[in-house]
């Protein structure tokens, strides 16, 4: 089931994507279920928003593809390397990634994102699927120069607009065999397979939930493949995942 969060000029609403229409839901399906209002709206008549605004946190996994770790001159970590992005970094499809004046090199990182659907603490790998609401696409935008100089990643990863999400949440997505591509101005820059993750999704959830409680609406970014590079004012970035669609964002100074 493909779930969209959208606006027609009023407050955000939710809908189930049915071909080229949205079947409008009565509320946030994560908390209100999938009851519909009976209304159907053409997709062309709405603005798609970030499919979720985390009420608590965005948790990201670094160096989760071996070739990406190598291109940065790093070893693959022995256990998941996690960090946080603030929920104020989240934007939706079509929203601009804004380049901060503090950085001279901002880079794209196309990723698969996991949306948590229930309270999760000390979840085993075997039970990981039970706490997943669905999947979407993310771009873990990074001020690479600040990441290197700061020695920790909060500022480099946390600027407003540095976590594009969308365009929809797929509740029945199959990770195995999936791929992700990132394009800048139509040129493929990244191409990776989810099967190449160092730590798969179930292991990531087990590890993170052993550290802190995950809440409904929390987002987990699962890492980026090799091929990262800079973006500049005027660029257009697309992250593609078959089954989840394409997340497009312009870049602005």
What was the pLDDT predicted at 109?
A: 98
The pLDDT of residue 246: 98
pLDDT of res. 55: 87
| Cα separation, 222 vs 204, whole angstroms | 8
Question: CB–CB of 83/157 below 8 Å?
Answer: yes
Token representation of residue 14: 């939710």
Q: In the chain, what is the straight-line distance between the N-terminal and C-terminal CA atoms, in Å?
A: 36
Return the SS3 of 32: helix
Q: How far is CA 144 from the centre of its chain?
A: 19
Rg of the chain, C-alpha, whole Å: 17
Residue spans of beta strands (DSSP E) within 58-186: 58-62, 81-85, 90-91, 97-98, 106-108, 110-116, 132-139, 142-143, 163-170, 179-184
Name all domains of the chain by residue range, CATH numbers in brackets.
2-48 (2.30.30), 58-252 (3.90.850.10)
- Over residues 76-103, the pLDDT tens digits come to 899 999 999 999 999 999 999 999 999 9
> Residue 72 pLDDT more than 90?
no
Residue 108 has pLDDT above 90, yes or no: yes
pTM attached to this predicted model:
0.97
Computed over every residue of the chain, the mean pLDDT equals 97
């Amino acid at each position: 089931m493909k779930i969209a969060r959208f606006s027609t000029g009023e407050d955000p609403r939710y809908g189930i994507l049915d071909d080229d229409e949205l079947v409008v839901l009565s509320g946030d399906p994560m908390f209100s279920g999938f009851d519909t209002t009976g209304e159907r709206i053409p997709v062309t008549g709405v603005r798609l928003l970030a499919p979720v605004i985390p009420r608590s946190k965005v948790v990201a996994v670094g160096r989760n593809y071996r070739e990406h770790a190598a291109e940065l001159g790093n070893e693959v970590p022995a256990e998941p390397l996690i960090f946080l992005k603030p929920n104020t970094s989240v934007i939706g499809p079509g929203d601009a990634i804004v380049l901060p004046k503090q950085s001279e090199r901002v880079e794209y990182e196309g990723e698969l994102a996991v949306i948590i659907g229930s309270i999760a603490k000390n979840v085993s790998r075997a039970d990981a699927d039970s706490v997943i609401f669905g999947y979407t696409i993310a771009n873990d935008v990074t001020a690479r120069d600040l990441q290197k100089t700061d020695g920790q990643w909060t500022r480099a990863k946390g600027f407003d607009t540095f976590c594009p999400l969308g365009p929809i949440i797929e509740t029945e997505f199959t990770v195995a065999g999936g791929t992700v591509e990132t394009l800048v101005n139509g040129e493929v820059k990244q191409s990776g397979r989810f099967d190449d993750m160092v730590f798969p999704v179930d292991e990531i959830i087990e590890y993170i939930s052993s550290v802190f409680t995950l809440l409904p609406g929390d987002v987990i970014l699962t890492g980026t493949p090799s091929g990262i590079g800079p973006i500049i004012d005027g660029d257009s970035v697309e992250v593609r995942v078959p089954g989840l669609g394409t997340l497009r964002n312009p870049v602005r100074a």
